[in-house]
Structure 1
């Protein structure tokens, strides 16, 4: 197997460090090929007679399965923990349930341990360790022959130290033994150039207790703390607009690359099925929905990976490490607003393939934090190549806030939910079956029985004119005149 230059450099750097230390941390941008790199390193160490077995830990079962396959290919042996296996591949969740027979392997054999997306595991000691970091610190750290920890985002949102990582005493920044950023990956033709389209609106109307308020952008609306961001991404009109833009772009790409696919990231399981229904009703497009509710979720993801289906909808199961190279468009409707999640999701559309078209587009609402993250990612891209565009939705959103109706129940797929302590509820009309009764909301949405009403919605409406502007080195920004003041103010605060 011919390795990419960065993979060879990283492997050589690890082998060199293992002469004096047993732990190695590699930072590589999402989509760069960390799975192959770590698997080849394991085989080299085995061929050199320095290890006997390989164990791998990763954040999800689909990623664990991918690592098992990559290791099996390198070793020409199975990695399932059975007799004759060269090791096994687990999720981090399994760390707390592994029995003593697994831990005894460290006493009898020289075990090489791979930690994928190590930022999930926190702790410099038992005192500040999380549930996944603790067994790494107490059981694996000293007993493993060697370890390699890989990540695409070398920090944690809660600012806790990452397990097995070293930090500079003065700056407190993490010390990576090898780093390979997005700029280098694009230069080497390893990753695609991300192009971000943030959709905004300058005619937003919110009705609260009979009082009508008008807003000229999502920034303006969210700054008033009247409506949480979760109400924007679950609004049918917003969903429809984002899907329409995303689907149009995917259709353009599929004219050159018939296998190109799109990922829609939802906020919750009911939200995912609501998106699927809107996609079907308004655009006539079908989609595969993959959530933790599906017993065969991994099989669905694998099937989609090798198919020519257009769309797959998920909440958190296709966020990091999941390898579907044919994804080229992402519609971000998640209410998770952390930079780590944003970067990991955007990484799903960055893997280079041999297809004739290698464009990558991410569509999202123009939420201030997400726009800030988009600009940061753009700064990692070689000069003149990054595109961050702001475009206007072409429908008015009218919101009616009913403070008497509170306590919405959300079925989550493991992601944090963006809510307010006393969250006002937007009345968007009751979704009912023909019998005016909903026994199972998710099943009713799956069966297409719920009518998507648009008579009472967050008010994003009207006709908009666009013009393109060059701002701060980015090639184009598309924004209405009404939102220009907010953008200037926001840019000043961010930069």
Structure 2
């Protein structure tokens, strides 16, 4: 049975299609149940005999497989693209391998095409875009009788316009047919109200080859020295402090909800292995790991979803669209610092389940952009993310932030001459330059600030 917001959106979409329009754009916060919504709309169009086939497109195998399962269950028909099935779930990447024979076959049917997380597709009929966006516009949109575009975060880090989206001519503001905000979802008990913990230090110093500087916050140090944020997220003692806070929170939640779990989003495979070692050896946590280098990561995600393990550490595998409702704690330790990615990561712990209490916690460091993202989490589509009309050059591939998530390689940052030193206390030989310096961290210097949304 659909929830209130899903029912409203489904009705609005069907009514628009009945009026003769062919496209519907839904913006719904991560965790609001967009896949079930889309499958329900597809079911109604099939019942009305408006369409013959349903095609779903999404940005990853994880999401694609999830959509296949959900659509098959709701439509009560096979959804594998084989003989006797009512449709197929595909990734955007696979569009570039679709041949003319497949497209020619589609012309014989009335197709309902669903584009999940459409912000991965950039471009317009008159401007530039990436490969996925152009493929959507050129190959699929014109063949479909009806289209549905979905996004929880309808903007792009490169500010290119989203494929199939409608913008005002003056400010470039996105027009949507239906919007379901995080505030609405929290009020309807569809999503958990998030609490974001920003970990900082008031005793930092940067030790260079010839100079030493002291600072009272991570943001100040990064701004004044040009040091890389990678120095912070790779510092052993900094990670240990943040992970200890997260483990304590998860332990509290598991005292009331025994299968509550946590997610750590890491910056690289090496980083993920270090985090797993800390969680397992230092804190005695049962921990799974999924990266693009591990065999059968999708099977590992499925095992974790149905297990009682405490933590899963991920590199680019559980950031968007992955449904693991028992996740209630998340550590954002990625080097990707875009608002789109921040909100998608937060979305992994927002989905409600039958557990109590329904708490969602995200732990990260107090880097300036992350502070700003946390402070405006109640603003559904931040003004900073509104697309502005400007000249753009055509891209030959996916945008950089998406590429980095797929490959697991964080966007490069210039490493400075100096090295971050967290004063006093213990030392850690994680980050050396010329074999002369190392990061030093004082745990007593840490502090944290909690931002509670909709409180």
- Give TM-score, length-normalised by structure 1: 0.81
Aligned to 2:242: 242
Structure 1 position 143 matched with structure 2 position 136: no
Structure 1 position 43, deviation (Å): 0.7
Structure 1 position 371, deviation (Å): 0.8
Once the two structures are overlaid, the 10-residue window that deviates more, 261-270 or 278-287, is: 278-287
Unaligned runs of 5+ in 1: 382-410, 432-454, 476-495
Structure 1 position 414 matched with structure 2 position 407: yes
Counterpart mapping for 1:270-309 below 5 A: 270-309=270-309
Aligned to 1:350: 350
**Residues 462 and 56 (structure 1), Cα distance of their counterparts in 2 relative to 1, 3 Å cut:** closer
CA RMSD of superposed structures (Å): 2.4
Aligned to 1:458: 439
Asked whether the equivalents of residues 207 and 418 of structure 2 are also in contact (C-alpha less than 8 Å), the reply is no
Structure 1 position 54 matched with structure 2 position 22: no
Distance across 2 between alignment mates of 1:100 and 1:133: 18
Count of residue pairs brought into register by the alignment? 421
Structure 1 position 414, deviation (Å): 2.8
1:137-180 per-position Cα deviation (integer Å, ceiling 9, x unaligned): 11212110101010001111111111111111122111100000
Unaligned runs of 5+ in 2: 382-403, 421-427
> Counterpart of 1:90 in 2: which secondary structure?
strand
- Which protein has greater RCO, CA pairs closer than 8 Å, 6+ apart? 2
> Counterpart of 1:114 in 2: which secondary structure?
strand
Aligned to 2:4: 5
Distance across 2 between alignment mates of 1:53 and 1:130: 27
**Residues 48 and 465 (structure 1), Cα distance of their counterparts in 2 relative to 1, 3 Å cut:** closer
Aligned to 1:130: 130
Once the two structures are overlaid, the 10-residue window that deviates more, 415-424 or 158-167, is: 415-424
Asked whether the equivalents of residues 195 and 453 of structure 2 are also in contact (C-alpha less than 8 Å), the reply is no
Structure 1 position 295, deviation (Å): 2.4
Distance across 2 between alignment mates of 1:9 and 1:223: 46
> Counterpart of 2:348 in 1: which secondary structure?
helix
Asked whether the equivalents of residues 194 and 350 of structure 1 are also in contact (C-alpha less than 8 Å), the reply is yes
**Residues 121 and 379 (structure 1), Cα distance of their counterparts in 2 relative to 1, 3 Å cut:** closer
**Residues 424 and 280 (structure 1), Cα distance of their counterparts in 2 relative to 1, 3 Å cut:** farther
Aligned to 1:442: none
Asked whether the equivalents of residues 126 and 137 of structure 1 are also in contact (C-alpha less than 8 Å), the reply is no
Aligned to 2:98: 98
Structure 1 position 191 matched with structure 2 position 191: yes
Asked whether the equivalents of residues 227 and 415 of structure 2 are also in contact (C-alpha less than 8 Å), the reply is no
Distance across 1 between alignment mates of 2:76 and 2:197: 44
Structure 1 position 423, deviation (Å): 4.0
1:289-343 per-position Cα deviation (integer Å, ceiling 9, x unaligned): 1011122111111111111111000011101110011100001101111000000
Distance across 1 between alignment mates of 2:452 and 2:77: 53
**Residues 270 and 298 (structure 1), Cα distance of their counterparts in 2 relative to 1, 3 Å cut:** same
**Residues 171 and 332 (structure 1), Cα distance of their counterparts in 2 relative to 1, 3 Å cut:** same
Structure 1 position 16, deviation (Å): 1.4
Aligned to 1:251: 251
Structure 1 position 459, deviation (Å): 3.5
Structure 1 position 102, deviation (Å): 2.4
Structure 1 position 286, deviation (Å): 3.0
Aligned to 2:336: 336
Structure 1 position 82, deviation (Å): 1.1
Distance across 1 between alignment mates of 2:189 and 2:56: 28
Distance across 2 between alignment mates of 1:474 and 1:37: 25
Structure 1 position 17 matched with structure 2 position 16: yes
Distance across 1 between alignment mates of 2:123 and 2:141: 12
Asked whether the equivalents of residues 117 and 149 of structure 1 are also in contact (C-alpha less than 8 Å), the reply is yes
Distance across 1 between alignment mates of 2:146 and 2:290: 36
Asked whether the equivalents of residues 204 and 458 of structure 1 are also in contact (C-alpha less than 8 Å), the reply is no
Once the two structures are overlaid, the 10-residue window that deviates more, 421-430 or 39-48, is: 421-430
> Counterpart of 2:30 in 1: which secondary structure?
coil
Counterpart mapping for 1:76-475 below 5 A: 76-125=76-125, 127-378=127-378, 414=407, 417-421=410-414, 423-424=416-417, 426=419, 429=429, 457-461=438-442, 463=444
> Counterpart of 2:5 in 1: which secondary structure?
helix
Asked whether the equivalents of residues 305 and 324 of structure 1 are also in contact (C-alpha less than 8 Å), the reply is yes
Asked whether the equivalents of residues 202 and 460 of structure 1 are also in contact (C-alpha less than 8 Å), the reply is no
Aligned to 2:392: none
> Counterpart of 2:308 in 1: which secondary structure?
coil
> Counterpart of 1:11 in 2: which secondary structure?
helix
**Residues 368 and 151 (structure 1), Cα distance of their counterparts in 2 relative to 1, 3 Å cut:** same
Distance across 2 between alignment mates of 1:174 and 1:320: 21
Asked whether the equivalents of residues 204 and 216 of structure 2 are also in contact (C-alpha less than 8 Å), the reply is yes
Aligned to 1:443: none
Distance across 2 between alignment mates of 1:198 and 1:167: 34
Asked whether the equivalents of residues 265 and 332 of structure 1 are also in contact (C-alpha less than 8 Å), the reply is yes
Aligned to 2:389: none
**Residues 425 and 95 (structure 1), Cα distance of their counterparts in 2 relative to 1, 3 Å cut:** farther
Structure 1 position 226, deviation (Å): 3.7
Structure 1 position 466, deviation (Å): 6.8
